[in-house]
């Protein structure tokens, strides 16, 4: 059986290599590819997708798995071998339900949609993107139908990012935390608002780049293992072992967008770079789930990057970089400003107290698009209505409204809940970490992040995708994904900032 397992692993390794090539082409499309190359790029990626799908669903793989599944019955269910077989079987069963033509179709649709989204967002004109969105939603509906029966049609999409989780699970969690977050937001609204005007002035981009490169290297992102480029929507992507790249965007007139996006994407990169090389190109390589990935990006962005200890250590240096902008701004004023709580149109710029509401809105919209209760042509109007219902504000245009996220153009329906779940997981992990490393505030204050990164590596990264998200979170924290720790974190932090 060792020989058969090696055969399976060899096939899986080839699938990873094709996937890494697709990632490189996707990274280039979002960073440097000329617009005129979009159609040809789509054809290349579609061809790679068809080759990968054909190889992954071959009768040879099916036969190997039939024998290996029986072999795994006598293995420790948590052993690497058993989990490789389990994950491979799960992936095979999913892929064999999807015709190769649909794999290629999805790639062509999303490649064109990504370029259409860019143009639509630049011109703030949803009508440019609408025909692409029609195809994406239609594809999602047909894709879901393949997997009947299901408890909820959205389960099929959600499971792609959060293995073994159900729509009912995430709705239950959201229903629990939403009134608590709303209550906190209302309590804050009754207090005097903090001042943040000094964050909205000129911050030369070259200086931003210098600060960002310095900070992400200090956090643990080794430039030998990645690079930083500009994209319309920040993202992190793995091109292969030891090569995880991040992208950011700059706003010369606002301090926050680049700085916190850089830390956010660095969190993603360090998770991916921390996965053991021993499992490289096997079925237990990669992240446990999108929510676990988001737990790391949000943890480094917010629990570290927006914490008081972080800026107690770094703020004097920031003042040296920006003496005119911050020379007369106290640390306390700065700390409160970067943590200001107020409804925001842009999800990626939303504060911690309101961020999850953006995700709850998107979940509601996606479910509506999938079941047909929301029509694609009505999406801008529906979006504006929902954002007003959730946050009490209305987008002045499509660019900062329905077109603000790249995800739908990439076909990532079912992904958004992972962002909020990542917030909840990050707080649960933080509470647990503090029990093991009670002096973490002092370490962060002194610019020492190696112990924190080491803890995350030992608890999360080392497992790769060996466990499902609920399993891994429970192994680390003692309970499945819930929002209690996150609510405690919000109440403590913003209670102090706003004197609640």
Measure the CA–CA gap between 302 and 264, rounded to whole angstroms.
8
Radius of gyration (Cα) for the chain, nearest Å?
23
What tokens were used for 341? 């709580």
Task: Report helix, strand and coil shares of the chain as percent, to nearest 5.
Answer: 70, 5, 30
Q: Are 249 and 235 in contact (CB under 8 A)?
A: no
Torsion of CA 313, 441, 248, 285, to 10 degrees: 140
Measure the CA–CA gap between 486 and 359, rounded to whole angstroms.
15
Measure the CA–CA gap between 182 and 187, rounded to whole angstroms.
9
Contacts of 440 (CB under 8 A, 6+ apart): 433, 434, 451, 452
Measure the CA–CA gap between 332 and 298, rounded to whole angstroms.
22
Residues in the chain: 500
What is the bridge-based pairing of β-strands 236-240 and 243-248?
antiparallel
Q: Are 113 and 136 in contact (CB under 8 A)?
A: yes
Measure the CA–CA gap between 469 and 289, rounded to whole angstroms.
6
Residue 248: DSSP 8-state: E
Q: Which residues are catalytic?
A: 265
Which residue is listed with tokens 């999805």? Answer: 106
Helix residue ranges per DSSP H, 220-372: 256-274, 290-298, 308-321, 323-326, 331-338, 355-371
First to last CA, the chain: 63
- CA 189 to chain CA centroid, Å, is 29
Q: Counting beta carbons within 10 angstroms of the beta carbon of residue 239, is it exposed (0 to 12), middle (13 to 18) or buried (19 or more)? A: middle
What is the bridge-based pairing of β-strands 228-230 and 236-240?
unpaired
- CA 345 to chain CA centroid, Å, is 19
Residue 397: DSSP 8-state: S
How many CB atoms lie under 10 A from the CB of residue 479?
12
């Amino acid at each position: 059986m060792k020989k058969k397992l090696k055969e399976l692993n060899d096939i899986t390794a080839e699938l990873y290599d094709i996937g890494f090539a697709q990632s490189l082409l996707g990274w280039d499309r979002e960073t440097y590819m000329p617009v005129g190359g979009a159609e040809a790029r789509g054809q290349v990626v579609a061809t790679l997708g068809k080759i990968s799908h054909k190889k992954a669903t071959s009768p040879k793989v099916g036969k190997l798995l039939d024998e290996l599944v029986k072999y795994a019955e006598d293995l420790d269910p948590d052993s690497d071998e058993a989990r490789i077989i389990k994950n491979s079987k799960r992936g095979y069963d999913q892929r064999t339900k999807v015709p190769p033509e649909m794999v290629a179709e999805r790639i062509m649709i999303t490649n064109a949609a990504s370029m259409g989204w860019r143009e639509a967002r630049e011109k703030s004109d949803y009508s440019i993107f609408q025909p692409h969105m029609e195809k994406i939603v239609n594809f999602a509906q047909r894709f879901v139908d393949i997997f009947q029966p299901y408890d909820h049609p959205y389960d099929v999409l959600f499971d792609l990012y959060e293995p073994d989780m159900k729509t009912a699970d995430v709705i239950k969690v959201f229903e629990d935390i939403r009134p608590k977050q709303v209550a906190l937001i209302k309590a804050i609204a009754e207090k005097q608002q903090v001042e943040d005007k000094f964050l909205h002035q000129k911050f030369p981009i070259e200086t931003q780049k210098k600060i960002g490169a310095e900070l992400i290297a200090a956090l643990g992102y080794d430039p030998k293992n990645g690079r930083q480029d500009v994209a319309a929507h920040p993202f992190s992507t793995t091109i292969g072992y030891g090569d995880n790249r991040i992208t950011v965007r700059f706003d010369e007139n606002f301090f926050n967008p680049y700085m916190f996006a850089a830390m956010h994407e660095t969190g993603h990169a360090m998770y991916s770079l921390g996965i053991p090389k021993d499992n490289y190109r096997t079925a237990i390589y990669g992240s446990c789930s999108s929510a676990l990935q988001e737990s790391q990006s949000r943890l480094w962005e917010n629990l570290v990057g927006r914490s008081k200890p972080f800026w107690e250590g770094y703020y004097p240096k920031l003042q040296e970089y920006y003496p005119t902008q911050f020379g007369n701004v106290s640390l306390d004023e700065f700390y409160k400003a970067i943590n200001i709580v107020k409804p925001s149109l842009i999800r990626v710029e939303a504060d911690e107290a309101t961020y999850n509401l953006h995700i709850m809105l998107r979940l509601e919209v996606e479910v509506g698009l999938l079941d047909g209760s929301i029509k694609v042509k009505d999406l801008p109007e529906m979006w504006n209505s929902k954002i007003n219902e959730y946050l009490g504000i209305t987008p002045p245009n499509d660019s900062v409204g329905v077109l603000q996220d790249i995800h739908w153009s990439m076909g990532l329906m079912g992904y958004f809940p992972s962002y909020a779940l990542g917030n909840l997981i990050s707080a649960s992990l933080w509470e647990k970490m503090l029990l093991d490393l009670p002096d973490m505030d002092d370490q962060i204050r002194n610019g020492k992040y190696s112990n924190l990164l080491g803890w995350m590596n030992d608890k999360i990264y080392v497992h790769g995708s060996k466990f499902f998200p609920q399993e891994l979170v429970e192994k680390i924290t003692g309970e499945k994904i819930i929002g209690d720790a996150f609510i405690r974190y919000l109440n403590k932090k913003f209670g102090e900032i706003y004197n609640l």
